[in-house]
Structure 1
Amino acid sequence: MNPFLNAPRFGVAGLLVVVTALSAPLATLSAQTDYYNTDAGRPVRIEDAYAIERRAVELQLAPFRLERARGGSYRWGIEPEFAVGLFPRTQVEIGFPIAHVEGVAGTRRTALGGIDASVLYNLNTETRLPALAVVADVLLPVGAMAPDKAYPSFKAIATKTFPWARFHLNGQVTIGDAPSIAPAGSGTTASAELSRWLVGVAVDRTLPLRSLLLTAEVVTSQPLDATETQAWDVAGGARYQVSPRLAVDGGGGYRLSRADAGWFLTAGAAVSLGLPWSPRR
Protein backbone atom coordinates (compact mmCIF):
# COMPACT_ATOMS: atom_id res chain seq x y z
CA MET A 1 0.00 0.00 0.00
CA ASN A 2 1.33 3.38 -0.95
CA PRO A 3 1.45 5.50 2.26
CA PHE A 4 1.14 8.71 0.29
CA LEU A 5 -2.47 7.84 -0.59
CA ASN A 6 -3.46 8.53 3.03
CA ALA A 7 -0.67 10.68 4.41
CA PRO A 8 -1.30 13.86 2.42
CA ARG A 9 -4.34 14.98 4.41
CA PHE A 10 -2.09 16.70 6.93
CA GLY A 11 0.70 17.26 4.41
CA VAL A 12 -1.62 19.19 2.10
CA ALA A 13 -2.97 21.15 5.06
CA GLY A 14 0.60 22.06 6.00
CA LEU A 15 1.31 23.17 2.44
CA LEU A 16 -1.75 25.42 2.51
CA VAL A 17 -0.48 26.96 5.73
CA VAL A 18 2.87 27.64 4.06
CA VAL A 19 1.22 29.35 1.10
CA THR A 20 -1.01 31.41 3.39
CA ALA A 21 1.95 32.47 5.52
CA LEU A 22 3.97 33.49 2.49
CA SER A 23 1.14 35.55 1.07
CA ALA A 24 0.52 37.44 4.32
CA PRO A 25 2.02 40.93 4.74
CA LEU A 26 5.33 40.70 6.56
CA ALA A 27 6.54 44.29 6.40
CA THR A 28 6.64 44.68 10.18
CA LEU A 29 8.26 41.32 10.88
CA SER A 30 11.91 40.63 11.55
CA ALA A 31 13.80 38.68 8.89
CA GLN A 32 15.25 35.21 9.22
CA THR A 33 18.87 35.04 8.19
CA ASP A 34 20.13 32.07 10.27
CA TYR A 35 19.45 29.13 7.96
CA TYR A 36 22.52 27.52 9.54
CA ASN A 37 20.87 27.57 12.99
CA THR A 38 19.71 23.95 12.96
CA ASP A 39 16.87 22.43 14.96
CA ALA A 40 16.25 18.82 16.00
CA GLY A 41 14.56 17.01 13.13
CA ARG A 42 15.27 19.72 10.53
CA PRO A 43 16.68 17.98 8.68
CA VAL A 44 18.56 15.69 11.12
CA ARG A 45 18.09 14.93 14.83
CA ILE A 46 21.35 16.50 16.04
CA GLU A 47 21.06 20.28 16.54
CA ASP A 48 23.44 23.15 17.19
CA ALA A 49 23.91 25.04 20.45
CA TYR A 50 22.32 28.34 19.39
CA ALA A 51 18.86 29.72 20.11
CA ILE A 52 16.86 31.88 17.72
CA GLU A 53 17.29 35.63 18.13
CA ARG A 54 15.55 37.51 20.91
CA ARG A 55 12.00 38.56 19.92
CA ALA A 56 12.09 36.25 16.89
CA VAL A 57 9.22 33.85 16.25
CA GLU A 58 9.65 30.75 14.13
CA LEU A 59 6.77 28.67 12.79
CA GLN A 60 7.84 25.20 11.72
CA LEU A 61 5.14 24.33 9.22
CA ALA A 62 4.20 20.66 9.18
CA PRO A 63 7.66 19.02 9.21
CA PHE A 64 6.99 15.60 7.69
CA ARG A 65 8.64 12.24 8.39
CA LEU A 66 7.99 9.01 6.47
CA GLU A 67 9.44 5.70 7.66
CA ARG A 68 9.55 2.27 6.05
CA ALA A 69 10.44 -0.50 8.47
CA ARG A 70 11.80 -3.90 7.58
CA GLY A 71 8.95 -6.02 6.25
CA GLY A 72 7.45 -3.21 4.21
CA SER A 73 5.27 -1.44 6.79
CA TYR A 74 5.01 2.35 6.57
CA ARG A 75 4.29 5.07 9.10
CA TRP A 76 4.34 8.82 8.87
CA GLY A 77 3.91 11.85 11.06
CA ILE A 78 4.05 15.63 11.13
CA GLU A 79 4.93 17.90 14.05
CA PRO A 80 3.99 21.57 13.68
CA GLU A 81 6.08 23.62 16.10
CA PHE A 82 6.14 27.16 17.42
CA ALA A 83 9.39 28.68 18.77
CA VAL A 84 9.96 32.12 20.28
CA GLY A 85 13.05 33.93 21.56
CA LEU A 86 11.57 35.45 24.71
CA PHE A 87 14.90 36.27 26.35
CA PRO A 88 18.51 36.63 25.17
CA ARG A 89 19.99 33.24 24.19
CA THR A 90 16.77 31.51 25.25
CA GLN A 91 14.39 29.62 22.96
CA VAL A 92 10.98 28.35 24.08
CA GLU A 93 9.33 25.81 21.82
CA ILE A 94 6.11 23.78 21.71
CA GLY A 95 5.26 21.04 19.23
CA PHE A 96 2.21 18.97 18.37
CA PRO A 97 3.26 15.58 16.94
CA ILE A 98 0.57 13.96 14.81
CA ALA A 99 1.10 10.35 13.72
CA HIS A 100 -0.48 7.93 11.25
CA VAL A 101 -0.16 4.14 11.51
CA GLU A 102 -1.50 1.20 9.53
CA GLY A 103 -2.31 -1.90 11.55
CA VAL A 104 -3.52 -5.40 10.86
CA ALA A 105 -6.44 -6.05 8.50
CA GLY A 106 -5.90 -2.68 6.83
CA THR A 107 -6.83 -0.62 9.89
CA ARG A 108 -5.55 2.95 9.93
CA ARG A 109 -5.35 5.57 12.62
CA THR A 110 -4.25 9.19 12.77
CA ALA A 111 -4.09 11.07 16.08
CA LEU A 112 -2.17 13.50 18.26
CA GLY A 113 0.81 11.84 19.90
CA GLY A 114 1.36 14.26 22.78
CA ILE A 115 2.43 17.86 23.32
CA ASP A 116 6.19 18.46 23.31
CA ALA A 117 7.40 21.54 25.22
CA SER A 118 11.06 22.55 25.58
CA VAL A 119 13.39 25.37 26.62
CA LEU A 120 16.90 25.79 25.16
CA TYR A 121 19.44 28.08 26.83
CA ASN A 122 22.71 28.95 25.11
CA LEU A 123 25.45 29.27 27.73
CA ASN A 124 28.10 30.99 25.61
CA THR A 125 29.26 31.89 22.14
CA GLU A 126 32.26 30.18 20.59
CA THR A 127 35.81 31.24 21.45
CA ARG A 128 38.55 28.68 21.72
CA LEU A 129 35.94 26.66 23.52
CA PRO A 130 32.84 25.31 21.76
CA ALA A 131 29.43 26.93 22.19
CA LEU A 132 27.41 25.11 24.84
CA ALA A 133 23.68 24.83 25.47
CA VAL A 134 21.28 22.93 27.72
CA VAL A 135 17.72 21.85 26.90
CA ALA A 136 14.86 20.82 29.18
CA ASP A 137 12.03 19.01 27.42
CA VAL A 138 8.80 17.24 28.38
CA LEU A 139 6.45 15.11 26.28
CA LEU A 140 2.95 15.42 27.77
CA PRO A 141 0.36 12.60 27.62
CA VAL A 142 -2.15 14.40 25.41
CA GLY A 143 -3.77 12.59 22.48
CA ALA A 144 -4.82 9.08 21.50
CA MET A 145 -1.29 8.07 20.46
CA ALA A 146 0.57 9.75 23.32
CA PRO A 147 2.51 7.81 25.99
CA ASP A 148 0.59 6.99 29.16
CA LYS A 149 2.52 9.56 31.25
CA ALA A 150 4.77 12.59 30.94
CA TYR A 151 8.40 12.02 29.99
CA PRO A 152 10.94 14.75 30.88
CA SER A 153 14.27 14.83 29.05
CA PHE A 154 17.49 16.79 29.46
CA LYS A 155 20.01 17.46 26.72
CA ALA A 156 23.51 18.96 26.51
CA ILE A 157 24.76 20.41 23.21
CA ALA A 158 28.22 21.50 22.03
CA THR A 159 29.04 23.23 18.72
CA LYS A 160 32.53 23.94 17.36
CA THR A 161 33.19 25.79 14.12
CA PHE A 162 36.23 25.34 11.90
CA PRO A 163 36.97 27.15 8.63
CA TRP A 164 35.82 24.12 6.63
CA ALA A 165 32.94 22.70 8.73
CA ARG A 166 30.99 22.79 12.00
CA PHE A 167 30.71 19.88 14.42
CA HIS A 168 27.86 19.27 16.90
CA LEU A 169 27.68 16.84 19.79
CA ASN A 170 24.36 16.07 21.53
CA GLY A 171 23.75 13.94 24.62
CA GLN A 172 20.27 13.37 26.04
CA VAL A 173 18.70 11.39 28.88
CA THR A 174 15.01 10.72 29.50
CA ILE A 175 13.53 10.10 32.94
CA GLY A 176 10.85 7.45 33.39
CA ASP A 177 10.17 3.77 32.90
CA ALA A 178 8.86 2.24 29.70
CA PRO A 179 5.07 2.54 29.41
CA SER A 180 3.36 -0.35 31.18
CA ILE A 181 0.66 -0.32 28.50
CA ALA A 182 1.71 0.66 25.01
CA PRO A 183 -0.40 3.45 23.56
CA ALA A 184 -2.42 2.86 20.45
CA GLY A 185 -0.05 3.25 17.54
CA SER A 186 3.04 2.69 19.70
CA GLY A 187 6.22 3.17 17.75
CA THR A 188 4.95 6.10 15.73
CA THR A 189 6.70 9.42 15.53
CA ALA A 190 4.86 10.43 18.70
CA SER A 191 6.78 7.98 20.85
CA ALA A 192 9.62 6.70 18.65
CA GLU A 193 11.92 9.56 19.68
CA LEU A 194 11.73 8.54 23.33
CA SER A 195 14.90 6.79 24.51
CA ARG A 196 16.65 6.10 27.80
CA TRP A 197 19.67 7.92 26.45
CA LEU A 198 20.86 9.28 23.12
CA VAL A 199 24.28 10.36 21.86
CA GLY A 200 24.96 11.73 18.41
CA VAL A 201 27.45 13.73 16.39
CA ALA A 202 26.80 15.76 13.26
CA VAL A 203 28.95 17.70 10.84
CA ASP A 204 27.68 20.42 8.52
CA ARG A 205 29.09 22.76 5.94
CA THR A 206 27.53 26.03 4.86
CA LEU A 207 27.62 27.42 1.34
CA PRO A 208 26.81 31.07 2.14
CA LEU A 209 26.74 32.30 -1.45
CA ARG A 210 24.06 29.71 -2.16
CA SER A 211 22.25 30.06 1.20
CA LEU A 212 22.64 26.30 1.62
CA LEU A 213 23.67 24.04 4.50
CA LEU A 214 24.65 20.38 4.04
CA THR A 215 24.75 18.07 7.05
CA ALA A 216 25.28 14.44 8.08
CA GLU A 217 24.95 12.63 11.41
CA VAL A 218 25.46 9.39 13.31
CA VAL A 219 23.16 8.74 16.29
CA THR A 220 22.97 5.89 18.79
CA SER A 221 20.25 5.47 21.41
CA GLN A 222 18.90 3.02 23.97
CA PRO A 223 15.10 2.61 24.01
CA LEU A 224 13.17 3.05 27.24
CA ASP A 225 12.31 -0.65 27.08
CA ALA A 226 15.42 -2.39 28.41
CA THR A 227 14.63 -5.53 26.40
CA GLU A 228 15.12 -3.68 23.11
CA THR A 229 18.57 -3.46 21.56
CA GLN A 230 20.60 -0.30 21.11
CA ALA A 231 19.78 1.57 17.88
CA TRP A 232 22.13 3.16 15.35
CA ASP A 233 20.94 5.70 12.77
CA VAL A 234 22.80 7.44 9.96
CA ALA A 235 21.25 10.39 8.15
CA GLY A 236 21.96 13.43 6.03
CA GLY A 237 20.16 16.37 4.53
CA ALA A 238 20.17 19.96 3.36
CA ARG A 239 18.61 23.25 4.47
CA TYR A 240 18.05 26.09 2.00
CA GLN A 241 17.17 29.75 2.58
CA VAL A 242 14.47 30.52 0.01
CA SER A 243 13.91 34.09 1.24
CA PRO A 244 14.89 36.15 4.30
CA ARG A 245 11.94 34.64 6.17
CA LEU A 246 11.55 31.16 4.68
CA ALA A 247 13.86 28.17 4.97
CA VAL A 248 13.10 24.68 3.63
CA ASP A 249 14.84 21.40 4.36
CA GLY A 250 14.88 17.77 3.38
CA GLY A 251 16.81 14.67 4.30
CA GLY A 252 16.89 10.94 4.70
CA GLY A 253 18.64 8.14 6.48
CA TYR A 254 18.68 4.53 7.55
CA ARG A 255 18.18 2.73 10.86
CA LEU A 256 20.87 0.06 11.02
CA SER A 257 19.58 -2.03 13.92
CA ARG A 258 16.48 -3.10 15.87
CA ALA A 259 13.37 -4.80 14.54
CA ASP A 260 12.20 -1.60 12.83
CA ALA A 261 15.36 -1.18 10.76
CA GLY A 262 14.68 0.61 7.51
CA TRP A 263 14.88 3.94 5.73
CA PHE A 264 13.21 7.24 6.52
CA LEU A 265 12.68 10.58 4.76
CA THR A 266 12.08 14.06 6.19
CA ALA A 267 10.90 17.37 4.77
CA GLY A 268 9.95 20.67 6.35
CA ALA A 269 9.78 24.44 6.19
CA ALA A 270 10.06 27.28 8.69
CA VAL A 271 8.82 30.86 8.51
CA SER A 272 10.51 33.45 10.72
CA LEU A 273 8.36 36.27 12.06
CA GLY A 274 8.76 38.72 14.92
CA LEU A 275 6.93 39.65 18.08
CA PRO A 276 4.36 42.37 17.39
CA TRP A 277 5.48 44.76 20.11
CA SER A 278 8.62 46.89 20.22
CA PRO A 279 11.23 46.59 22.94
CA ARG A 280 11.22 49.25 25.61
CA ARG A 281 13.75 52.01 25.15
Structure 2
Amino acid sequence: MPRIHNVMTSSVLPAVLLVGALLPGARAAHAQVDYRNIDSGRPVRIGDATPTARKSLELNLGNGRVEQLSQGRYRLQLEPRLTYGLLPRTEVSVRSPVFFNERALRPRAGVAGVGIGFEHQLRIESLHLPSVGLGTELFVPTGPAALPPTYSVRGMMTRSFPVGRIHFNGAYGTFNVRTPVGFEKILPPIHGACSVAPTELAMTVRFACMPSTLLSAAAPGATRTHDRWLFGMAVDKSLPLRSTLLMADVFGQKYRSIGRPVDWTGEVGVRTQLSRSIVIDAAVGRLFTGESRATFLTFGTTLSRALTL
Protein backbone atom coordinates (compact mmCIF):
# COMPACT_ATOMS: atom_id res chain seq x y z
CA MET A 1 0.00 0.00 0.00
CA PRO A 2 2.75 2.57 0.78
CA ARG A 3 4.33 1.82 -2.58
CA ILE A 4 1.10 2.41 -4.51
CA HIS A 5 0.38 5.48 -2.41
CA ASN A 6 3.81 6.88 -3.27
CA VAL A 7 3.13 6.26 -6.96
CA MET A 8 -0.08 8.25 -6.65
CA THR A 9 1.67 11.12 -4.90
CA SER A 10 4.68 11.27 -7.19
CA SER A 11 2.99 10.63 -10.56
CA VAL A 12 -0.71 11.43 -10.61
CA LEU A 13 -0.96 14.60 -8.57
CA PRO A 14 1.91 16.35 -10.41
CA ALA A 15 0.24 15.46 -13.71
CA VAL A 16 -3.07 16.98 -12.63
CA LEU A 17 -1.33 20.07 -11.27
CA LEU A 18 0.64 20.42 -14.49
CA VAL A 19 -2.53 20.44 -16.59
CA GLY A 20 -4.11 22.99 -14.29
CA ALA A 21 -1.05 25.21 -14.37
CA LEU A 22 -0.97 25.15 -18.16
CA LEU A 23 -4.57 26.27 -18.60
CA PRO A 24 -3.91 30.00 -18.15
CA GLY A 25 -0.79 29.94 -20.29
CA ALA A 26 -1.81 27.68 -23.15
CA ARG A 27 -1.64 29.46 -26.49
CA ALA A 28 -3.77 29.08 -29.57
CA ALA A 29 -1.97 27.59 -32.54
CA HIS A 30 -3.00 26.99 -36.12
CA ALA A 31 -3.95 23.38 -36.97
CA GLN A 32 -4.07 22.38 -33.31
CA VAL A 33 -7.34 20.47 -32.99
CA ASP A 34 -6.25 17.19 -31.39
CA TYR A 35 -7.28 18.51 -27.97
CA ARG A 36 -10.95 18.29 -29.08
CA ASN A 37 -10.81 14.57 -29.89
CA ILE A 38 -12.10 12.65 -26.87
CA ASP A 39 -10.88 9.10 -27.28
CA SER A 40 -12.63 6.66 -24.98
CA GLY A 41 -10.76 6.72 -21.69
CA ARG A 42 -8.74 9.82 -22.57
CA PRO A 43 -9.38 11.24 -20.13
CA VAL A 44 -13.08 10.32 -19.60
CA ARG A 45 -14.81 7.09 -20.51
CA ILE A 46 -17.42 8.49 -22.92
CA GLY A 47 -15.84 9.41 -26.26
CA ASP A 48 -16.84 11.32 -29.38
CA ALA A 49 -17.72 9.93 -32.80
CA THR A 50 -14.57 11.24 -34.49
CA PRO A 51 -11.77 8.72 -35.21
CA THR A 52 -8.10 9.52 -35.73
CA ALA A 53 -7.46 11.45 -38.95
CA ARG A 54 -6.29 9.49 -41.99
CA LYS A 55 -2.52 8.84 -42.08
CA SER A 56 -2.16 10.20 -38.55
CA LEU A 57 -0.33 8.14 -35.93
CA GLU A 58 -1.12 8.67 -32.25
CA LEU A 59 0.99 7.23 -29.45
CA ASN A 60 -0.56 7.40 -26.00
CA LEU A 61 2.27 7.34 -23.45
CA GLY A 62 2.14 7.54 -19.69
CA ASN A 63 -1.60 6.91 -19.62
CA GLY A 64 -2.45 5.87 -16.10
CA ARG A 65 -5.27 5.43 -13.63
CA VAL A 66 -4.95 5.36 -9.84
CA GLU A 67 -7.93 4.11 -7.82
CA GLN A 68 -8.50 4.65 -4.12
CA LEU A 69 -10.44 1.61 -2.94
CA SER A 70 -12.03 0.87 0.41
CA GLN A 71 -9.96 0.27 3.54
CA GLY A 72 -7.25 2.69 2.38
CA ARG A 73 -6.08 0.56 -0.56
CA TYR A 74 -4.83 1.80 -3.93
CA ARG A 75 -4.59 0.26 -7.39
CA LEU A 76 -2.55 1.49 -10.36
CA GLN A 77 -3.20 0.79 -14.06
CA LEU A 78 -1.12 1.87 -17.06
CA GLU A 79 -2.31 1.54 -20.64
CA PRO A 80 -0.02 2.40 -23.57
CA ARG A 81 -1.96 2.63 -26.84
CA LEU A 82 -1.12 3.04 -30.52
CA THR A 83 -3.73 4.39 -32.99
CA TYR A 84 -3.46 4.91 -36.74
CA GLY A 85 -5.88 6.52 -39.21
CA LEU A 86 -5.79 3.74 -41.79
CA LEU A 87 -8.60 4.93 -44.10
CA PRO A 88 -10.85 7.99 -44.35
CA ARG A 89 -12.84 8.25 -41.09
CA THR A 90 -11.40 4.88 -40.00
CA GLU A 91 -8.83 4.02 -37.33
CA VAL A 92 -7.18 0.89 -35.99
CA SER A 93 -5.64 0.65 -32.53
CA VAL A 94 -3.60 -1.63 -30.30
CA ARG A 95 -3.45 -1.33 -26.51
CA SER A 96 -1.80 -3.36 -23.76
CA PRO A 97 -2.96 -2.62 -20.19
CA VAL A 98 -0.54 -3.15 -17.31
CA PHE A 99 -1.93 -3.50 -13.76
CA PHE A 100 -0.52 -3.11 -10.26
CA ASN A 101 -2.95 -4.54 -7.71
CA GLU A 102 -3.19 -4.13 -3.94
CA ARG A 103 -1.30 -6.62 -1.80
CA ALA A 104 -4.30 -8.92 -1.24
CA LEU A 105 -4.40 -9.92 -4.92
CA ARG A 106 -2.17 -12.35 -6.78
CA PRO A 107 -0.53 -11.61 -9.09
CA ARG A 108 0.15 -8.09 -7.88
CA ALA A 109 1.37 -6.85 -11.28
CA GLY A 110 1.49 -7.91 -14.89
CA VAL A 111 0.27 -7.36 -18.44
CA ALA A 112 -3.49 -7.91 -18.59
CA GLY A 113 -3.58 -8.61 -22.32
CA VAL A 114 -3.68 -7.06 -25.77
CA GLY A 115 -6.66 -5.27 -27.30
CA ILE A 116 -7.05 -4.78 -31.06
CA GLY A 117 -9.66 -2.18 -31.98
CA PHE A 118 -11.38 -0.77 -35.06
CA GLU A 119 -13.49 2.41 -35.34
CA HIS A 120 -15.34 3.96 -38.26
CA GLN A 121 -17.35 7.16 -38.54
CA LEU A 122 -20.58 6.24 -40.30
CA ARG A 123 -21.63 9.82 -40.95
CA ILE A 124 -20.16 13.29 -40.47
CA GLU A 125 -22.16 15.83 -38.50
CA SER A 126 -24.40 18.04 -40.62
CA LEU A 127 -26.57 21.04 -39.93
CA HIS A 128 -29.49 18.91 -38.77
CA LEU A 129 -28.02 15.49 -37.90
CA PRO A 130 -25.28 14.37 -35.46
CA SER A 131 -22.14 12.45 -36.33
CA VAL A 132 -22.35 8.70 -35.74
CA GLY A 133 -19.53 6.21 -35.21
CA LEU A 134 -19.15 2.49 -34.61
CA GLY A 135 -16.25 0.73 -32.90
CA THR A 136 -15.31 -2.80 -31.92
CA GLU A 137 -12.45 -4.47 -30.06
CA LEU A 138 -11.10 -7.96 -29.53
CA PHE A 139 -9.28 -8.34 -26.21
CA VAL A 140 -6.91 -11.28 -25.69
CA PRO A 141 -5.86 -11.83 -22.03
CA THR A 142 -2.28 -12.98 -21.38
CA GLY A 143 -0.55 -15.09 -18.74
CA PRO A 144 -0.56 -18.77 -17.74
CA ALA A 145 -4.07 -18.52 -16.23
CA ALA A 146 -5.52 -16.27 -18.93
CA LEU A 147 -9.19 -16.63 -19.78
CA PRO A 148 -10.55 -16.82 -23.35
CA PRO A 149 -10.69 -13.66 -25.51
CA THR A 150 -13.61 -11.25 -25.22
CA TYR A 151 -15.11 -8.69 -27.58
CA SER A 152 -17.06 -5.45 -27.41
CA VAL A 153 -19.07 -3.29 -29.81
CA ARG A 154 -19.64 0.42 -29.19
CA GLY A 155 -21.85 3.04 -30.82
CA MET A 156 -21.10 6.77 -30.53
CA MET A 157 -23.07 9.91 -31.38
CA THR A 158 -21.89 13.54 -31.19
CA ARG A 159 -23.90 16.73 -31.63
CA SER A 160 -22.46 20.27 -31.59
CA PHE A 161 -24.16 23.34 -30.16
CA PRO A 162 -23.00 26.96 -29.77
CA VAL A 163 -22.16 26.36 -26.10
CA GLY A 164 -20.40 23.02 -26.59
CA ARG A 165 -20.90 19.41 -27.64
CA ILE A 166 -22.88 16.48 -26.27
CA HIS A 167 -21.92 12.83 -26.73
CA PHE A 168 -23.84 9.57 -26.24
CA ASN A 169 -22.21 6.12 -26.07
CA GLY A 170 -23.70 2.67 -25.86
CA ALA A 171 -21.68 -0.55 -25.72
CA TYR A 172 -22.21 -4.29 -25.51
CA GLY A 173 -19.57 -6.92 -24.82
CA THR A 174 -18.62 -10.13 -23.07
CA PHE A 175 -16.55 -11.10 -20.04
CA ASN A 176 -15.43 -14.47 -18.72
CA VAL A 177 -15.72 -15.98 -15.25
CA ARG A 178 -13.73 -18.96 -14.03
CA THR A 179 -15.70 -20.60 -11.22
CA PRO A 180 -13.53 -22.34 -8.58
CA VAL A 181 -14.64 -25.84 -7.58
CA GLY A 182 -16.80 -25.74 -4.48
CA PHE A 183 -18.24 -22.29 -5.16
CA GLU A 184 -21.61 -22.27 -6.89
CA LYS A 185 -22.42 -18.56 -6.70
CA ILE A 186 -20.34 -15.44 -7.13
CA LEU A 187 -21.17 -12.85 -4.51
CA PRO A 188 -20.48 -9.09 -4.42
CA PRO A 189 -19.27 -6.61 -3.21
CA ILE A 190 -16.06 -6.32 -5.20
CA HIS A 191 -14.02 -4.37 -2.65
CA GLY A 192 -15.19 -6.05 0.55
CA ALA A 193 -13.60 -8.86 2.47
CA CYS A 194 -13.51 -12.23 0.69
CA SER A 195 -15.13 -10.78 -2.41
CA VAL A 196 -14.82 -11.14 -6.15
CA ALA A 197 -13.74 -8.24 -8.34
CA PRO A 198 -14.54 -7.74 -12.04
CA THR A 199 -11.27 -6.54 -13.54
CA GLU A 200 -12.24 -4.37 -16.47
CA LEU A 201 -8.77 -4.50 -17.98
CA ALA A 202 -8.89 -8.24 -18.54
CA MET A 203 -12.69 -8.51 -18.67
CA THR A 204 -12.49 -11.26 -16.05
CA VAL A 205 -13.64 -11.87 -12.51
CA ARG A 206 -11.03 -12.72 -9.93
CA PHE A 207 -11.15 -13.34 -6.18
CA ALA A 208 -10.01 -10.23 -4.32
CA CYS A 209 -9.70 -11.01 -0.63
CA MET A 210 -10.54 -14.68 -0.18
CA PRO A 211 -8.51 -16.43 2.54
CA SER A 212 -5.37 -17.99 1.07
CA THR A 213 -6.28 -21.42 2.47
CA LEU A 214 -9.46 -21.48 0.41
CA LEU A 215 -7.68 -20.22 -2.67
CA SER A 216 -5.02 -22.91 -2.53
CA ALA A 217 -7.61 -25.64 -1.99
CA ALA A 218 -9.94 -24.55 -4.80
CA ALA A 219 -9.01 -25.92 -8.19
CA PRO A 220 -10.15 -23.94 -11.27
CA GLY A 221 -13.59 -24.96 -12.47
CA ALA A 222 -15.59 -24.22 -15.58
CA THR A 223 -15.16 -20.98 -17.51
CA ARG A 224 -18.39 -19.17 -18.25
CA THR A 225 -19.03 -16.29 -20.62
CA HIS A 226 -21.52 -13.56 -19.71
CA ASP A 227 -22.49 -10.28 -21.33
CA ARG A 228 -22.14 -6.70 -20.16
CA TRP A 229 -23.40 -3.35 -21.33
CA LEU A 230 -22.61 0.35 -20.90
CA PHE A 231 -24.57 3.53 -21.57
CA GLY A 232 -23.55 7.11 -20.85
CA MET A 233 -23.36 10.71 -21.96
CA ALA A 234 -20.74 13.46 -21.87
CA VAL A 235 -20.61 17.20 -22.45
CA ASP A 236 -17.59 19.30 -23.34
CA LYS A 237 -16.66 22.94 -23.80
CA SER A 238 -13.69 24.03 -25.92
CA LEU A 239 -11.54 27.07 -25.20
CA PRO A 240 -9.98 27.62 -28.65
CA LEU A 241 -7.78 30.53 -27.62
CA ARG A 242 -6.16 28.28 -25.02
CA SER A 243 -6.25 25.02 -27.04
CA THR A 244 -8.08 23.45 -24.11
CA LEU A 245 -11.16 21.26 -23.71
CA LEU A 246 -13.20 20.87 -20.50
CA MET A 247 -15.50 17.85 -20.17
CA ALA A 248 -17.70 15.83 -17.83
CA ASP A 249 -19.54 12.53 -18.19
CA VAL A 250 -21.72 10.01 -16.38
CA PHE A 251 -22.21 6.37 -17.35
CA GLY A 252 -23.64 3.11 -16.07
CA GLN A 253 -22.19 -0.40 -16.44
CA LYS A 254 -23.93 -3.71 -15.92
CA TYR A 255 -22.15 -7.08 -15.59
CA ARG A 256 -24.92 -9.63 -15.99
CA SER A 257 -25.38 -13.03 -14.32
CA ILE A 258 -22.99 -12.41 -11.39
CA GLY A 259 -25.41 -10.78 -8.97
CA ARG A 260 -24.18 -7.19 -9.34
CA PRO A 261 -26.40 -4.11 -9.73
CA VAL A 262 -25.64 -1.34 -12.22
CA ASP A 263 -22.46 0.61 -11.38
CA TRP A 264 -22.73 4.38 -12.00
CA THR A 265 -19.65 6.56 -12.45
CA GLY A 266 -19.13 10.32 -12.92
CA GLU A 267 -15.98 12.08 -14.20
CA VAL A 268 -14.66 15.58 -14.92
CA GLY A 269 -11.55 16.14 -17.04
CA VAL A 270 -9.44 18.49 -19.12
CA ARG A 271 -7.33 18.18 -22.29
CA THR A 272 -4.83 20.83 -23.37
CA GLN A 273 -2.56 21.00 -26.41
CA LEU A 274 1.05 22.00 -25.80
CA SER A 275 2.18 21.92 -29.44
CA ARG A 276 1.12 20.59 -32.83
CA SER A 277 1.97 17.05 -31.74
CA ILE A 278 1.58 16.91 -27.94
CA VAL A 279 -1.64 16.80 -25.90
CA ILE A 280 -1.86 16.16 -22.16
CA ASP A 281 -4.96 15.27 -20.16
CA ALA A 282 -6.17 14.53 -16.64
CA ALA A 283 -9.47 13.67 -14.95
CA VAL A 284 -10.96 12.73 -11.60
CA GLY A 285 -13.87 10.34 -11.18
CA ARG A 286 -16.05 8.60 -8.64
CA LEU A 287 -17.82 5.24 -8.75
CA PHE A 288 -20.74 6.41 -6.64
CA THR A 289 -23.35 3.61 -6.81
CA GLY A 290 -23.32 -0.17 -7.07
CA GLU A 291 -21.74 -2.77 -4.82
CA SER A 292 -18.54 -0.78 -4.32
CA ARG A 293 -17.22 2.77 -4.05
CA ALA A 294 -13.97 4.05 -5.51
CA THR A 295 -12.34 7.38 -6.33
CA PHE A 296 -9.82 7.53 -9.17
CA LEU A 297 -7.51 9.84 -11.10
CA THR A 298 -6.43 9.48 -14.72
CA PHE A 299 -3.58 11.19 -16.56
CA GLY A 300 -1.96 10.84 -19.95
CA THR A 301 0.06 12.22 -22.85
CA THR A 302 -0.68 11.82 -26.58
CA LEU A 303 1.97 12.24 -29.28
CA SER A 304 0.69 12.52 -32.86
CA ARG A 305 2.26 12.93 -36.27
CA ALA A 306 1.46 12.37 -39.91
CA LEU A 307 2.71 9.00 -41.13
CA THR A 308 2.20 7.05 -44.34
CA LEU A 309 2.35 3.28 -43.97
Residue 21 of structure 2 corresponds to: none
Give distance in 1, aligned partners of 2:61 and 2:52. Answer: 16
Residue 21 of structure 1 corresponds to: none
8 Å CA contact 1:7–1:100 kept in 2: the answer is no
Cα distance per residue 1:118-162 (max 9 Å; x no partner): 10000111111110000011111223685x111111011000000
Residue 98 of structure 2 corresponds to: 98
| Amino acid paired to 1:5 | N
> Are 1:270 and 2:269 counterparts?
no
Per-residue deviation at 1:110? Answer: 1.1
Give distance in 1, aligned partners of 2:176 and 2:34. Answer: 38
| Amino acid paired to 1:234 | G
**Structure 2 stretches lacking a partner, 5+ long:** 16-30, 181-185, 187-195, 206-226
Residue 240 of structure 1 corresponds to: 272
Residue 202 of structure 2 corresponds to: 191
Give distance in 2, aligned partners of 1:223 and 1:198. Answer: 9
Give distance in 2, aligned partners of 1:43 and 1:226. Answer: 29
| Amino acid paired to 1:269 | T
8 Å CA contact 2:150–2:203 kept in 1: the answer is no
The alignment's TM-score, normalised by the length of structure 2, stands at 0.75
Q: CA separation of 1:34/1:48 partners in 2, compared to 1, >3 Å: closer, same or farther? A: same
| Amino acid paired to 1:120 | E
Residue 143 of structure 1 corresponds to: 143
> Are 1:62 and 2:58 counterparts?
no
> Are 1:5 and 2:6 counterparts?
yes
Residue 255 of structure 2 corresponds to: 223
8 Å CA contact 1:111–1:145 kept in 2: the answer is no
Give distance in 1, aligned partners of 2:7 and 2:298. Answer: 17
The alignment covers a number of residue pairs equal to: 255
> Are 1:123 and 2:122 counterparts?
yes
SS at the partner of 1:167? strand
Cα distance per residue 1:182-231 (max 9 Å; x no partner): 9xx95445236997000010000000000000000011010245311210
Q: CA separation of 1:237/1:123 partners in 2, compared to 1, >3 Å: closer, same or farther? A: same
Per-residue deviation at 1:177? Answer: 4.8
8 Å CA contact 2:176–2:203 kept in 1: the answer is no
Name the larger-Rg structure: 2
8 Å CA contact 1:100–1:188 kept in 2: the answer is no
8 Å CA contact 1:64–1:79 kept in 2: the answer is yes
8 Å CA contact 1:178–1:225 kept in 2: the answer is no
Could you say what the CA RMSD is over the residues aligned between the two structures, in angstroms? 2.8
**What percent of counterpart residues are identical?**
32
**Structure 1 stretches lacking a partner, 5+ long:** 16-30
Residue 79 of structure 1 corresponds to: 79
8 Å CA contact 2:152–2:174 kept in 1: the answer is yes
Residue 42 of structure 2 corresponds to: 42
> Are 1:111 and 2:110 counterparts?
yes
The alignment's TM-score, normalised by the length of structure 1, stands at 0.82
8 Å CA contact 2:8–2:66 kept in 1: the answer is no
Give distance in 1, aligned partners of 2:171 and 2:204. Answer: 11
